[in-house]
């Protein structure tokens, strides 16, 4: 849109945005791999790792995809998520294998057994060709405490079906996991209301 009434400011804006669009278009055109199941990692000490994974789940359900969720540690997803997923009973397989945060249990043998059972469930879901998105929530925590064999987990995830997206969450992702991943986001805590003495809020934190 150029006409004689355009001001200098409008022209500068238009030219800047046209350049931005050219860069964007060139970037999109440079991509050649059409379809690939991604290994996505959400890590870091900030909020939003499991919530963003849950957002991906809900979007996938919106597309009518079959989705699997395995929770390695109980607690990150709760009543709100459960009720939302219940609106898609035909599409979701959700398994909570963990026994609560590990510092609640203080029983290593039980934690290892729960992590192994969760990993077995994860492998079942990976082998099911109808599943298009699989979330392994807090898997990084199970790996951090050496509840599972890291090399085995990374090799199995890397050998996933080409059309399966896998999302792994949890702080302290291992370097080997990051190396194997296609997309890694670190959620960094910039500011938290706990510091102002505010309790965890329903609907936001649980």
* Residues of span 65-94 touching a copy of itself by CB under 8 A: 65, 79-88
Among 3, 8, 26, 34, binds a copy of itself (CB under 8 A): 34
Q: Smallest Cα–Cα separation from 122: which of 65, 169, 75, 89?
A: 169
Q: Please, are residues 21 and 164 in contact by the beta-carbon 8 Å criterion?
A: no
Please report which helix (H) or strand (E) contains residue 132, including its range: strand 131-137
Q: Which is nearer to a copy of itself, 4 or 30 (CB)?
A: 30
Between 54 and 119, whose beta carbon lies closer to a copy of itself? 54
Contacts to a copy of itself from residues 148-187, by CB under 8 A: 165, 178, 181-187
CA angle at 55 for the pair 72 and 79, rounded to the nearest 5°: 60
Binding mask 122-151 for a copy of itself (x = CB under 8 A): ----------xx------------------
Q: Quote the least distance from Cβ 171 to a copy of itself, whole Å.
A: 13
Place of tokens 């395995």: 70
For residue 13, the minimal CB distance to a copy of itself (Å) is 4
CB of 120 to a copy of itself, least distance (A): 22
Pick 121 or 165: Cβ nearer a copy of itself: 165
- CB under 8 A: which stretch of 97-105, 113-121, 136-144, 150-158 binds a copy of itself? 97-105
Output the CA torsion sign for 165, 170, 171, 177: negative
CA dihedral 95, 82, 56, 145 (to 10 degrees): -50
**Listed residue (143, 144, 168) closest to 49, CA to CA:** 168
Q: Judged by CB under 8 A, which stretch of 19-27, 113-121, 134-142, 148-156 contacts a copy of itself?
A: 19-27
List 89, 90, 109, 159, residue binding a copy of itself (CB under 8 A): 109
Contact 94, 119 (CB under 8 A): no
- How many positions of this chain bind a copy of itself (CB under 8 A)? 89
Cα distance between residue 136 and residue 103, in whole Å:
20
Give the sign of the dihedral formed by CA 101, CA 102, CA 106, CA 110: positive
Smallest gap, in angstroms, from Cβ of residue 151 to a copy of itself?
A: 20
């Amino acid at each position: 849109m150029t006409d004689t009434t355009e001001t200098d400011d409008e022209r500068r804006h238009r030219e800047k945005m046209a350049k931005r669009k050219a860069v964007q278009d060139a970037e999109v055109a440079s991509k050649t791999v059409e379809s690939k199941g991604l290994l996505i990692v959400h890590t870091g000490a900030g909020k939003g790792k499991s919530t963003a994974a849950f957002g991906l789940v809900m979007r996938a359900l919106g597309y009518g995809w079959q989705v699997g969720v395995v929770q390695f540690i109980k607690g990150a997803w709760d009543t709100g998520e459960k009720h939302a997923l219940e609106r898609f009973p035909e599409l979701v397989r959700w398994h909570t294998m963990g026994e609560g945060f590990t510092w609640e249990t203080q029983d290593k043998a039980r934690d290892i057994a729960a992590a192994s059972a969760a990993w077995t469930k994860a492998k079942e879901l990976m082998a099911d060709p109808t599943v298009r998105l699989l979330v392994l929530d807090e898997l990084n925590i199970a790996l951090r405490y050496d509840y599972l064999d890291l090399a085995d987990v990374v090799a199995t995830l890397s050998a996933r079906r080409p059309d399966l997206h896998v999302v792994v969450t949890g702080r302290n992702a291992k370097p080997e996991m990051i190396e194997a991943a296609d997309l890694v986001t670190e959620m960094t805590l910039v500011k938290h209301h706990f510091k102002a003495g505010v309790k965890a809020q329903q609907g936001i934190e649980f």
